[in-house]
Structure 1
Amino acid sequence: MTSTTYGATGALPRSLSEASVADRSWYAAGITLLAVRIIQGFIYWGGGSRRFIYAPSKLDAWGGHNWMANKFQTAMPGALFGTDHLISFLLLHFDLLYVGVILFSAAELIFGAMLMAGLLTRLSALVTMGFSVILMAMFGWQGATCIDEWTMAACNLAMGTTLLLAGGSAFSLDNVLLRRNPRLANRAWFRWAGGTLPLPLREGGFRGVAFALLAFVLVFNIGTYSYYRGSVLTPFHGGPVSPTKHHVTLTDATVAAGGAIKVHAYLDGGTPEAQLHIVQAALIGPDHAVLNVWDAKALSALPKADFYNVYAYNKFGPGPYGIRAPMGAMATITFPLPAGMATLPSGSTFKLTDVDGSNFTARLKTPAH
C-alpha cells in the first residue's frame, strides 16, 4: 500500500517534501493512527474469525453449549434499551436468531478486515462504532471483577469515533484507490466513506461534528458506567443486576390441580461463569412454620418433565446436588406436594435456597374455596 497522502483538493504531490504543511500534518495523523486502526479492525475481525474459522462450534446451533444463543441468553437480564426484549424474541424464533448471528458475525469479520486494510475506512469505523454500542448495551453489565465487556466496548467506541473523524490515510487501500483514480477526490461519497482525504466540511462544520460525536461518546460511556456501577456522581454500587451473586426472581407461585406447587423462576443475576445450584425448597406457612421441605436429594429426583423451560438453550433442570441453571434460564417448575397437602393455608410462602445460602421467595397463591 502506498504511503502517499493527498490534500483537501485531491492533488497528487510528487513527494512528501513538496506537500503542503496541511498535507504533511494529515499524513502524520494517518501514521499516528495506524495502531488504532489496525487493532480496532483486528478486534472485530477476531470476533468473526473465531466463529467462522477457529471456533466454529460457536455457530453450531445443534452442537452444545458453545452455540452463541447461550451467550445471548446470559446477557438478557442486564441488557439495556430494550435489547433484552429483542434477545428474548430471537431466542424464541430460531430462524431469525440463526440468521442474525451469521449476519452479525460476517459483518464483524468483513468490516474488521476492511478497517485493518484501510478500505472505506470511515464507513468501517462507523460500523464498528455500532458494534460497540450494541455490545455495551447487551453485555456491558457483565464482569465478575470489573465491568469487562463495558471497558472493551467503551474503548472501541472512542477508537471508532476517532477513525471516523480523522480517517487513517497512511498505508491504506483507500490511498491505492485514490492514486489509481484521482477523480474520487471530488466524489462526496468517497470523502465520507474513505479515509484518505479530510471530510468535505469547512472548519466550523468539522468542529461541530467532532464536538457532537465527543458529546455522544462521553454521555453514552460515562452514563452507562454510572448506571452499571456508579462512581461518577454516586458511590460505587454493584449495579441493578449483580454480575457476581446469583439472584432468582420467583413469580406466579400457585397450587396446581392434583396436589403440586408451580412456580415461575428466572435466573436474572449472577455470572455466566458459574451455574446456580438450588439445594433446598421449602413451603412456609403464614405463621412461619415449615410445612414441607424438598432437600437436595428430592430436588435432584425431580423429573425433567417438571421443568417447563421458556428457552431452548440455558435451562433449569435437576442436577446431582439439587436444581441447577445457567445464567438467564427461565422456567416454570413443578414441586409435588405430599399426600394430604393439596389444601394450604392462605398467606403461605414458597422459598428456594441456593448453595451460598441466599433465599428467594414468592407469596403462594392458593385457590379460593
Structure 2
Amino acid sequence: MRNIDMWTLLGLTMLGVRLVQGWVYWGGASRRLIYSVGKLDPSSSAYMGHKMNTAIPGAIFGTGDALSALLHHPTLLYGAIIIFTLVELLVGLGLVFGFMTRFFGLISVGLAISLMLMFGWLGSTCVDEWTMASNSFAMGLGIMIAGGGSWWSLDHWVAKKFPRLARHAWFPWIFSGPLPVVVVTRFAKLFGIFAIVFAVGFYSYLRGAVYSPLVARTNPKNHHIALSKPVLSSSGNLSLVAYVDAGPDTQGAYVIQASIVDASGHVVETWGGKVLSELAKTELSNEYSYSLFKPTKYGFVGALGARATISLPHQGLLTLAPGNYRAIFLGIDGKQWKTQVVVGMQ
C-alpha cells in the first residue's frame, strides 16, 4: 500500500474521533464566550472561578496550591480563565476543520492532563471527570498519529494549494501527512502505553483501587469539614478555621450547631442554629471570594472548597478552667466534625 493511501485511511478512521474531540473543546469554549457569558463574568454565580475553587480540595501534584494562589489574585485568575478558554476554542476549531491537526492534537493532550490534575477527583455519582480526561488524553494521542487525512481537512487543502510549503520536513509534524512508518510505529506503541498508564494510574491514585472497591483519595460523595487553628478563651469565645475539604460540588455542608465539650464529655457551651444563622460577615471571614461559608435559615453552610475563619462569641457568663476541650460542629445529617482545643492559664 502506498504511503498516501495509508495516511488517507488513517485520517478517515480517526475522522469521527477528531470531530467529536474538536466539538467537545469548541463546546466548552463557546458556552463561555457565546451562550453562557456568566461563566466569564466575575460577578456572576456561574463564573468559572467558583468551579476552580471547588477543585482545590482534591486537585493533585500542587495544582491545588496553584489554584489557591490564582484565587487570591482575581486579575490573574480572570486572565488564566480567558487564556484557557481561547486555547480550548482554537483546539476545537483546529480539530473540527482539520487545521494544524497534529499540533492541536498535542495541545488537546495538554488540556486533558490539566483537566485530570484539577478536576479528575470530582464526580459524586460516577467517575465522570476522570473518564473525560482519560478519553480526551487517548483521543488526542490518536489524532497526533493519524493527522487530519484528506477528507474534511484544511491540512490537505493547504498541502495541495502550497506544495512547496508541504515539502518542508516540519510540515507533517504540525499539520498532517505521511510520516516515516517506523517512527509512527514506535509512537503508536509508546502512546498506547502512555494512555493506559495515564488512565489506570490516575484511577488508582484518585479512587484508591484497580482490582478492589473504590476508596476515593478525596471523597466526592460525603462532605467533610476540617477544623484547625482553634482558639478558645476562658469566657467561651471560640475562633477556628473551617475548610470544606471533601464532598460533592452540587451542594454545601450544612452546620446547624456548634458546641464546646470538656474532657469529661460535658457540653459547656452551645451555639444553636438560630445563633449561627445570625453570624455577621466579620464572624464568617472567608478566604476565597467564590466558595463561601454563609448563613442559612438553620445555621450556616460551606460550599466545597470554602475556607473561613469562624468566630463564635460566648453566649453568657462563663469561666472555663484551663485544660483540654473539643470543638464540635454538627451537620444537618447528624455528622460531626471535631478538633481539640486548649484553654491555657490566664
Instruction: State the TM bucket, normalised to the shorter chain.
Output: over 0.9
CA–CA distance in structure 2, aligned partners of residues 69 and 326 of structure 1: 13
TM superposition score normalised by structure 1:
0.90
Partner of 2:308: 331
Q: What is the CA distance between 1:303 and its match in structure 2?
A: 1.5
**What is the RMSD computed on CA atoms of the aligned residues?**
1.6
TM superposition score normalised by structure 2:
0.96
Partner of 2:184: 206
Partner of 1:133: 113
Partner of 2:268: 291
What secondary structure does 1:265 align onto? strand
Q: Deviations over 1:265-320 (max 9, x none)?
A: 00011111111110111110011111111111121121222011111111112111
Identity of aligned residues (%): 37
> Which 5+ residue runs of structure 1 have no aligned equivalent?
1-19
CA–CA distance in structure 1, aligned partners of residues 345 and 197 of structure 2: 52
Contact 2:57/2:218 (8 A) holds in 1: yes
Q: Deviations over 1:175-234 (max 9, x none)?
A: 010001112332122111112x123x451x33332222222222121111112223414x
CA–CA distance in structure 1, aligned partners of residues 237 and 178 of structure 2: 70
Partner of 1:320: 297
Q: Which amino acid aligns with 1:76?
A: I
Partner of 2:41: 60
What are the within-5 Å matches in structure 2 for residues 322-361 of structure 1?
322-361=299-338
> Which 5+ residue runs of structure 2 have no aligned equivalent?
none
Q: 1:271 aligns with which of 204, 228, 248?
A: 248
What secondary structure does 2:215 align onto? coil
Answer yes or no: is 1:217 the counterpart of 2:195. Answer: yes
Change in Cα spacing, 1:202 to 1:88, as seen in structure 2 (3 Å) is same
Deviates more, 1:48-57 or 1:179-188: 179-188
Q: Deviations over 1:13-54 (max 9, x none)?
A: xxxxxxx54322321221121111011001001110000000
Contact 2:59/2:118 (8 A) holds in 1: yes
Q: What is the CA distance between 1:342 and its match in structure 2?
A: 4.9
Q: 1:178 aligns with which of 131, 149, 159?
A: 159
How many residues were matched structurally? 345
Contact 2:26/2:92 (8 A) holds in 1: yes
Q: Which amino acid aligns with 1:193?
A: I
Partner of 1:103: 83
Q: Deviations over 1:103-159 (max 9, x none)?
A: 100110111101100000000111111101100111111111111111011111100
Contact 1:252/1:365 (8 A) holds in 2: no
What are the within-5 Å matches in structure 2 for residues 28-39 of structure 1?
28-39=9-20
Partner of 1:251: 228
Q: What is the CA distance between 1:356 and its match in structure 2?
A: 1.1
Q: Which amino acid aligns with 2:20?
A: I
Contact 1:280/1:354 (8 A) holds in 2: yes
